[in-house]
C-alpha cells in the first residue's frame, strides 16, 4: 500500500479543489434554467448544511432534502406498538434517536421509560442479541428502523438464529422505490437526484435502474465528503447541459453497480417487500420489509398482534410532513426553533439526528431563500417573522 486510504480521503476536504469545482459549477449553471435536485439521505443533508454548500451554489441551482431520515419516516403506529409493549412489561430495545421519536399520542419510548415502561437503548442489533442471550428469562422486542443499510444486519442475525426471547418489529424501509415515487411527483418537480451513498453500497446502483428508466432524470450516487457532494452536483449539471440523463457513480470507492450481493440475498430471504407507509410521505410500493411467513417466530407483529404502520400523526400546527417530503424548508414551520428545538423536539424531523430540522437547527439556520418564497432569506432577518403562515 503506497498511500494509506486515510491520506487519500483527506483530499476530499481540500478547500482549493472545492473552490475550483465550484467555479466549474457556476460556469456550467450560467447557461441553464433553474435546476432543482434532491437528495434522500440525512447524512447528505448534514454535509451540505455543515459545509454551507447551498450558500456557495449559483442562484438557479437548488438542492432539496428529501425523506432521508429513517427515524422521521417510521410510522407513528409502530412507535405506539412499541410503547404499548414496554408498558406491558416487555423489554423494548431500539436505537437512541428512535427512542425519542413521538408516536400518535405525542409520547416517545423515552417518555414511556420515564413512566415505568421497560425501554433500553442499543448501539447495534448485536447488543440486543447479547442482552437477550444473557437474560434468558426476560422477554425482549427490538424496534428495528432504518433503510437497507441497517436491515441486512437484522436479516443476517435472523438467519443465524436469534435467542428465543428476542422478537423484532421490522419498520425497515427500502429506498429505491421511494426515489421512483419522488421522481414522478409533480408537486416536487425535481429535475435530478443525488442518490444515497451508504444505502447504495447494499442495494447497488442496479436497484434504481427500473425507476431511472421510468423518469429519465439524472441520478448521481454520491459520497459524504464536501468534495463528493460538489462533484455530484457538477456531474448532474453536466448531464442536464448535455441533455443526456444517466445513472452516474461519484462514490466509486464504496458503491458498485451490483452492491453487496450477499446482503441482498439475506434481505430477500428474510423479508417480503410490501407496499408500506413512510410517515409524512405516502404509501411507497414494495418498500416495507416485513418478515416472511417462515420467520413468524421472530416477528413481533404476528406474535403480539400489532398493526402494520399507517396514518399521519404529527403535532398540531407542525409542518413535519412537508419538511420530510422536501416541499418546504424548516424555517417555514411555525414551530421551528420556537416550541420545537433540539433540546425540546416536538416533531420527528427535530428528533432524528438525520432529520432536516435537527440538522438546520444545530447549524443555527433560521432562514434561506426558499422556493415557496415564504422565507426569502437573509440570515439577519428575525426568526420570529420567518415562515409564519398567514394568521399563524
Residue 309, phi then psi, degrees to nearest 5: -60, 130
8 A C-beta contact, residue 313 and residue 304: no
First to last CA, the chain: 61
68 sits near other proteins (criterion: CB under 8 A): yes
Binding mask 154-173 for other proteins (x = CB under 8 A): --x-----------------
95 touches other proteins (CB under 8 A): yes
CA 241 – CA 192 distance, rounded (Å): 12
Does the footprint of other proteins cover residue 110 (CB under 8 A)? no
Task: Write the interaction track for other proteins spanning residues 132-151; mark x where CB under 8 A is met and - where it is not.
Answer: -------------xxx-xx-
Q: Which of 83, 141, 168, 263 binds other proteins (CB under 8 A)?
A: 263
Nearer to other proteins, 122 or 283 (CB): 122
Site for other proteins in 275-304 (CB under 8 A): none
d(CA 301, CA 284): 20
Comparing C-alpha atoms, which of 331, 333, 302, 332 is closest to residue 317? 333
For residue 363, give the nearest of 45, 63, 62 by alpha carbon. Answer: 45
State which residue, 31 or 380, has the beta carbon closest to other proteins: 31
Whether the CB-CB separation of 279 and 230 falls below 8 Å is answered with: no
Our finding on whether 153 is near other proteins (CB under 8 A) is yes
Sequence-ordered list of residues with C-beta below 8 angstroms from that of 10, at least 6 positions apart, any chain: none
- The DSSP bridge pattern shows strands 140-144 and 35-39 to be unpaired
Residue located via cell numbers 444473557: 134
363 touches other proteins by CB under 8 A: no
* Rounded least distance, CB 239 to other proteins, Å: 13
Here's the x/- map for other proteins, 223-262, by CB under 8 A: it reads as: -x--x---x--x------x--------xxxxx-----x-x
Instruction: Show Cβ contacts of residue 191 under 8 Å, excluding neighbours closer than 6 positions.
Output: 35, 36, 37, 217, 218, 240
Identify which of residues 132 and 199 has a Cβ nearer to other proteins in the complex: 199
Q: Give contact residues for other proteins (rule: CB under 8 A).
A: 1, 3, 5-6, 8-9, 11-12, 17, 20-21, 24, 27-28, 31, 41-43, 68-71, 95-98, 123-127, 145-147, 149-150, 152-153, 156, 196, 198-199, 201-202, 224, 227, 231, 234, 241, 250-254, 260, 262-263, 353-354
Amino acid at each position: 500500500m503506497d498511500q494509506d486510504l486515510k491520506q487519500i480521503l483527506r483530499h476530499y476536504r481540500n478547500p482549493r479543489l472545492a473552490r475550483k469545482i465550484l467555479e466549474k459549477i457556476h460556469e456550467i449553471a450560467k447557461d441553464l434554467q433553474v435546476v432543482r435536485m434532491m437528495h434522500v439521505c440525512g447524512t447528505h443533508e448534514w454535509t451540505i448544511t455543515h459545509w454551507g454548500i447551498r450558500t456557495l451554489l449559483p442562484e438557479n441551482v437548488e438542492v432539496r432534502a428529501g425523506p432521508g431520515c429513517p427515524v422521521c419516516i417510521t410510522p407513528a403506529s409502530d412507535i405506539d406498538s412499541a410503547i404499548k409493549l414496554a408498558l406491558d412489561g416487555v423489554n423494548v430495545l431500539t436505537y437512541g434517536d428512535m427512542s425519542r421519536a413521538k408516536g400518535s399520542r405525542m409520547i416517545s419510548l423515552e417518555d414511556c421509560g420515564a413512566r415505568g415502561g421497560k425501554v433500553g437503548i442499543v448501539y447495534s442489533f448485536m447488543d440486543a442479541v447479547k442482552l437477550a442471550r444473557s437474560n434468558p428469562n426476560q422477554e425482549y422486542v427490538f424496534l428495528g428502523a432504518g433503510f437497507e443499510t441497517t436491515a441486512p444486519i437484522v436479516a443476517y442475525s435472523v438467519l443465524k438464529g436469534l435467542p428465543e426471547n428476542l422478537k423484532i418489529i421490522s419498520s425497515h424501509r427500502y429506498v429505491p422505490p421511494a426515489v421512483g415515487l419522488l421522481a414522478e411527483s409533480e408537486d416536487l418537480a425535481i429535475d435530478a437526484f443525488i442518490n444515497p451513498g451508504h444505502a447504495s453500497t447494499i442495494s447497488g446502483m442496479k436497484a434504481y435502474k427500473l425507476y431511472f428508466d421510468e423518469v429519465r432524470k439524472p441520478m448521481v450516487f454520491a459520497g459524504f465528503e464536501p468534495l463528493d457532494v460538489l462533484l455530484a452536483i457538477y456531474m448532474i449539471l453536466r448531464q442536464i447541459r448535455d441533455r443526456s440523463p444517466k445513472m452516474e457513480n461519484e462514490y466509486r470507492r464504496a458503491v458498485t453497480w451490483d452492491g453487496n450481493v450477499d446482503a441482498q440475498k439475506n434481505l430477500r430471504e428474510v423479508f417480503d417487500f410490501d407496499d408500506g407507509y413512510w410517515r409524512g410521505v405516502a404509501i411507497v410500493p414494495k418498500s416495507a420489509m416485513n418478515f416472511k411467513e417462515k420467520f413468524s417466530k421472530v416477528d413481533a407483529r404476528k406474535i403480539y398482534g400489532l398493526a402494520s404502520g399507517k396514518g399521519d400523526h404529527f403535532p398540531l400546527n407542525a409542518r413535519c410532513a412537508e419538511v420530510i417530503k422536501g416541499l418546504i424548508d424548516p424555517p417555514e414551520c411555525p414551530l421551528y426553533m420556537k416550541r420545537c428545538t433540539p433540546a425540546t423536539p416536538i416533531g420527528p424531523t427535530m428528533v432524528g439526528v438525520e432529520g432536516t430540522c435537527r440538522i438546520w437547527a444545530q447549524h443555527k439556520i433560521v432562514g434561506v431563500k426558499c422556493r415557496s418564497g415564504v422565507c426569502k432569506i437573509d440570515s439577519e432577518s428575525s426568526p420570529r417573522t420567518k415562515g409564519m403562515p398567514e394568521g399563524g
